[in-house]
Amino acid sequence: MGLVVQKYGGSSVADAEGIKRVAKRIVDAKKNGHQVVVVVSAMGDTTDELIDLAEQVSPIPAGREFDMLLTAGERISMALLAMAIKNLGHEAQSFTGSQAGVITDSVHNKARIIDVTPGRIRTALDEGNIAIVAGFQGVSQDKKDITTLGRGGSDTTAVALAAALDAEVCEIYTDVDGVFTADPRVVKKARKIEWISSEDMLELAASGSKVLLHRCVEYARRYDIPIHVRSSFSGLPGTWVSNVNPRGDEHVEHAIISGVAHDVSEAKITVVGVPDKPGEAAVIFRAIADAEINIDMIVQNVSAASTGLTDISFTLPKAEGHKAIDALEKTKGAIGFDSLRYDDQIGKISLVGAGMKTNPGVTASFFQALSDAGVNIELISTSEIRISVVTRQDDVNEAVRAVHTAFGLDSDSDEAVVYGGTGR
């Protein structure tokens, strides 16, 4: 039995009862002969309450102090979890990100892990302890200041520790049973996926699936750490995410389509009437990049021969919309476009699956399913293993259900698991 890293999110440790339930699950893993390292998030609403306090004393909380504040949340949950484990008769020690050797850069509020030196964790394990580590936090290499890793940071902490400790698996415990073929709140017949490749999981995460964040999956893929996403409530097996199917290649068990993701958190900006000559797009997207805005899809229409003008559209998080418009308005003189159109009533539907590479019919089937459902397509973007379309936001749920059914992903369908080579 080897080393297991388990990560529990805030909803799993929302109150004393939750902490005791999680403690029992951790002790079970220890009893099964594993060395156990646990990464824990702040309890339930703690982080929101701390942010609220910060806003009461200062309208623009400062980076360094904001991180110092937020890291109090995991300090509470990890200490309580260690106490609860000791109360079950097992030894446990809690460690801050700094104590656990999570070394980051100095970008407060969204630091990146640059090294993990888990010497104290290794010692605690060798002495028979269960090690509890604060998720989401680290210490900056140069200034030794406390940093936080930003959204989804605890998952990243777990994967990074799993890599540094050469763990067998990184178990991400959450409040859902795993990764589904679509959001079960939208598609009642969505199926839990038993295994998905890191590659497909990355595309799902980038396309709106909330279960695992892109950054965490990317880290796991790079260091070849298998992730097991599962529920801390049900105890059922969840979804395995890894570079290679653990059942072995000989089964060639590879679904053409892993799942359907959707995202209604984005807006679309169209720059209308851009002169169709080299360098114009570069000016536009340099302005966006300089404003530190992450964009998603970019589409440029063919220019009308009569005018020599073209339209460039892109999608971005709604929260960044105003900033982007401001940044573009300032470039108007340099580019000479006609106008800007901003639309936040859009939604994105993405079909993800490595099987697409060798199944040219997938794209056609996707568009057919949308057409049959009466959904109009506004933008299209593709990668080797993903097709995404932008539609009206009101059409998104219906579109997701239609596509899910069309690709035989519904759970009561005989075609629920589609193997490679069917030529679809």
Which parts of this chain interact with its own copies (CB under 8 A)? 16, 19-20, 23, 50, 53-54, 56-62, 64-66, 68-69, 71-73, 75-76, 78-84, 86-87, 92-94, 99, 120, 144
Q: Closest distance between its own copies and the C-beta of residue 55, in Å?
A: 9
Tell whether 248 is in a known binding site.
Answer: no
Tell whether 174 is in a known binding site.
Answer: yes
Contact 61, 83 (CB under 8 A): no
* Residue number, 145 or 263, with CB nearest to its own copies: 145
The kind and range of the H/E element at 55 are: helix 46-57
* Residue number, 134 or 316, with CB nearest to its own copies: 134
Determine if residue 208 is left, alpha or beta; phi over 0 gives left, psi from -120 to 50 gives alpha, anything else beta: left
Tell whether 268 is in a known binding site.
Answer: no
Picking from 2, 28, 3, the residue whose alpha carbon sits closest to that of residue 232 is 28
Specify the residue for token string 């309450």: 49
* Residue number, 20 or 110, with CB nearest to its own copies: 20
Partners of 346 in beta bridges: 392
Q: Closest distance between its own copies and the C-beta of residue 405, in Å?
A: 46
Tell whether 10 is in a known binding site.
Answer: yes
Contact 353, 363 (CB under 8 A): no
Tell whether 321 is in a known binding site.
Answer: no
Q: Closest distance between its own copies and the C-beta of residue 49, in Å?
A: 10
* Residue number, 91 or 378, with CB nearest to its own copies: 91
Q: Closest distance between its own copies and the C-beta of residue 38, in Å?
A: 13
- Identity of the residue numbered 211: V
Q: Count CB-CB contacts under 10 A for residue 293.
A: 18
* Half-sphere exposure in the Cβ direction for 398 (13 Å, CA): 12
* Residue number, 43 or 162, with CB nearest to its own copies: 43
Cα separations (Å) of 46 from 24, 43, 68, 123, 354? 23, 6, 14, 30, 39
* Half-sphere exposure in the Cβ direction for 159 (13 Å, CA): 28
* Residue number, 62 or 334, with CB nearest to its own copies: 62
Partners of 382 in beta bridges: 387
Tell whether 189 is in a known binding site.
Answer: no
Q: Closest distance between its own copies and the C-beta of residue 158, in Å?
A: 19
Tell whether 144 is in a known binding site.
Answer: no
Q: Closest distance between its own copies and the C-beta of residue 54, in Å?
A: 6
Q: How far apart are CA 317 and CA 131, in angstroms?
A: 37
* Residue number, 95 or 219, with CB nearest to its own copies: 95
Picking from 46, 50, 39, 121, the residue whose alpha carbon sits closest to that of residue 81 is 39
Tell whether 210 is in a known binding site.
Answer: yes
Contact 28, 173 (CB under 8 A): no
Cβ neighbours of residue 79 closer than 8 Å, sequence gap 6 or more: 94
Q: Closest distance between its own copies and the C-beta of residue 172, in Å?
A: 23
Tell whether 219 is in a known binding site.
Answer: no
Three-class DSSP category at 56: helix
**Residue list, annotated binding site for substrate:** 47, 74
**Residue list, annotated binding site for ATP:** 7-10, 174-175, 185, 210-211
